[in-house]
Chains A and B, each alone.
Chain A
Amino acid sequence: MSARVAIVGAGPAGARAAETLVAARLAPIVIDEGAAAGGQIYRRPPAGFARTPEVLYGSEAAKARALHAAFDRMVAEGRVAHHPRSSVVALAGGELYVLGEAGQARIGYDRLILATGATDRLAPVPGWQNAGVYSLGAMQIALKAQGVALGRRIVIAGTGPLLTLVAAQLRAAGASVAAVLDTASMREQLSGFSGLAARPLVAARGLAMRAGLGRLYHAGVRVEEIEAGADGVAAVRWRDGRGHERRTPCDAVGLGWHLQAETHLADLAGCRFDYDETWAQWLPRADRRGRAGEGLYLAGDGLRILGADAAEAAGRVAAAACLADLGLPAPDTAADLRLLARSERFARGIAAAFPWPAEMVRTLPDATVVCRCEGITAGVLRATTDYGGPDANRVKALGRPGMGGCQGRYCRLASAEMIAAHAGCAPQSVGRFRAQPPVRPVPVGAWVEKG
């Protein structure tokens, strides 16, 4: 019997990993939360929607088409066991615990490739718990997969390439964007410029998009508060680069400070993590080819936030490493490894140019809700640090931030930053919130044996 290789995720990395394995005559198992392959970046609208890939993905349409076609062909020919609309909620003892539409299943594997992608990296803003505040990714998903805007007058705030991209896409589709507030200053943005030379075309496209936003775009902003009434968001109060108070009425806000690797499953699989200063987050440890443990491989944004092109390369590289480790002939990946190296230089430039807003997070007022799920405030977090000590997991156990529905995805970085600032140490020294199964909520009784 040939080796059972399971792949989690069918975005650019997972799809290309599957293709590489299929070319070597393996039949991988692919488990994905999407209804169709593509991941978040090349996400496809449901049946019955009519926009073409050119409208949906712009300059990246050809890549999206190619990826979708390659994966759909493998499914049609029965060369992959595809489990769409399914979440891996835990893993143990060589089995994945999978929750799908048809119920739950345990799927055994010999080798595992995690291509779990990324989620928005969020910093709390006073008032962000109100209805009408969304992640930037959510704004983009609403537009791409549903053809809707999540408000009549939208403020976009945060930093990173997605900030200008989402604003430009919303405007092109006819939504009303009231302001684009970038917390990165022009000085910071210039400091990352040398890295951007590694991919000049991508950099130029970003700058052109920014220019198109004209006077809506503001750099060096401090977002002070999201004001809300009974029906949700009413305005954003912010300070411009010169320190002047401004207020922009709106009914929706898109927030995002770049992306964070989705690492919950890697954590459960036993990966080691290192704090990365440039990306200001904990990232799983792996070799150049994605090897992260015995029979365990990581690829794509779930390992390093390098974007879609690099994710395709990383998927092929990780699958090739898996084949080599199985003693099977593996394709040459030299060109992909070069693309990965170049993409990392570029991505580090981007991360430096659009940094995590550490100072803003450290100085959040005590009343600010940090954990949206459980309503835990900055004040509670600081008080818990006082008696629990500067240790992220102790503060989590005592104060319960990061224990809600999102499993700490949207508060863990800010919590660590605040704990560290309060105790006067560096964020990496307080550790990271450890993931706990299930990584997605599971209905009561899902794995209770019947009979």
Chain B
Amino acid sequence: MNSTRQEEGARGRVVRLTEQARAPVRFFLDGRACTALAGDTVLTAILASMGALRGSDCGPEKRAGFCLMGACQDCWVWQEEGPRLRTCSTPIAEGMRLLSEAPGDWP
């Protein structure tokens, strides 16, 4: 599982074109340590190393966000603790623990 993730790590969806002189921020995705840049949204942070954010609730397709302006609700992910996050409008923060799949106790 971990090795697959790392291979995907080389092929994130997002391409950073500019503004890369920002401080690194460490967070965890599915228990794995990842690095983002201060000022990234959670969406940018995850898609910098992954092709998508999570599985879909109504079909086989994965989800990676759609509008980036808080209008479509396509982009949420789970946290290990606490409520789901709308990733396009939430800044990444040091130590965040995010999940691309529902935690066990999710109804």
Please give the residue numbers on chain A whose beta carbons come within 8 Å of chain B beta carbons, in ascending order.
Answer: 33, 40, 45-51, 85, 87, 119-120, 129-135, 137-138, 141-143, 145-152, 173-175, 228, 230-232, 251-252, 262, 369, 372-375, 404-406, 409-410, 440-441, 443
| A150 and B47 contact, Cβ closer than 8 Å, known pairs A135-B66, A173-B17, A228-B61 | yes
B20, B38, B64 interface centre (most CB from chain A within 10 Å) = B64
Give the bracket for the number of chain B residues in contact with chain A. 35 or more
CB contact between B52 and one of A33, A131, A174, A374 (< 8 Å): that residue = A131
Instruction: Say whether B6 faces chain A, with CB atoms less than 8 Å apart.
Output: no
Q: Does the CB pair B69–A119 fall under 8 Å?
A: yes
Q: Does the CB pair A148–B44 fall under 8 Å?
A: yes
Q: Does the CB pair B67–A369 fall under 8 Å?
A: no
CB-contacts of B70-102 with A (<8 A): 70-74, 83, 89, 91
Alpha-carbon distance A441/B22, docked complex (angstroms): 32
Alpha-carbon distance A51/B19, docked complex (angstroms): 7
Q: Does the CB pair A149–B67 fall under 8 Å?
A: no
Indicate with 1 or 0, residue by residue over B12-51, a CB within 8 angstroms of chain A CB atoms.
Answer: 0111111111110000000000000011110010011001
Starting from the known contacts A129-B59, A134-B65, A369-B59, 20 additional A-B residue pairs (CB-CB under 8 Å) come to: A33-B89, A40-B69, A47-B39, A48-B22, A49-B39, A129-B56, A132-B51, A134-B67, A135-B66, A137-B68, A138-B66, A147-B20, A148-B16, A148-B17, A173-B17, A231-B51, A262-B71, A373-B74, A374-B58, A375-B59
Q: Does the CB pair B56–A142 fall under 8 Å?
A: no
- Chain A residues whose CB sits within 8 angstroms of the CB of B68 once the complex forms: 134-135, 137-138, 141-142
Instruction: Say whether B62 faces chain A, with CB atoms less than 8 Å apart.
Output: yes
Alpha-carbon distance A141/B48, docked complex (angstroms): 16
Main secondary structure of the interface of A (DSSP, over half): loop
Alpha-carbon distance A409/B67, docked complex (angstroms): 11
Q: Does the CB pair A131–B63 fall under 8 Å?
A: yes
| A150 and B18 contact, Cβ closer than 8 Å, known pairs A119-B67, A409-B72 | no
Q: Does the CB pair B64–A51 fall under 8 Å?
A: no
Closest to B37 in A: A48
- Chain A residues whose CB sits within 8 angstroms of the CB of B65 once the complex forms: 134, 138
- Chain A residues whose CB sits within 8 angstroms of the CB of B53 once the complex forms: 131
Alpha-carbon distance A139/B51, docked complex (angstroms): 16
Alpha-carbon distance A150/B38, docked complex (angstroms): 18
A150, A173, A406 interface centre (most CB from chain B within 10 Å) = A150
CB contact between B15 and one of A151, A228, A375 (< 8 Å): that residue = A151
Alpha-carbon distance A103/B8, docked complex (angstroms): 37
B20, B23, B61 interface centre (most CB from chain A within 10 Å) = B61
Q: Does the CB pair B61–A130 fall under 8 Å?
A: yes
Q: Does the CB pair B13–A251 fall under 8 Å?
A: yes
Alpha-carbon distance A149/B15, docked complex (angstroms): 5
- Chain B residues whose CB sits within 8 angstroms of the CB of A375 once the complex forms: 56, 58-59
30 A-B residue pairs with CB within 8 Å: A40-B69, A48-B23, A49-B19, A51-B18, A87-B70, A119-B69, A120-B67, A131-B52, A131-B63, A132-B13, A132-B51, A132-B52, A134-B68, A137-B69, A138-B67, A138-B68, A141-B69, A143-B17, A146-B39, A146-B44, A147-B19, A231-B51, A231-B62, A262-B71, A372-B74, A406-B73, A406-B74, A409-B71, A410-B66, A440-B70
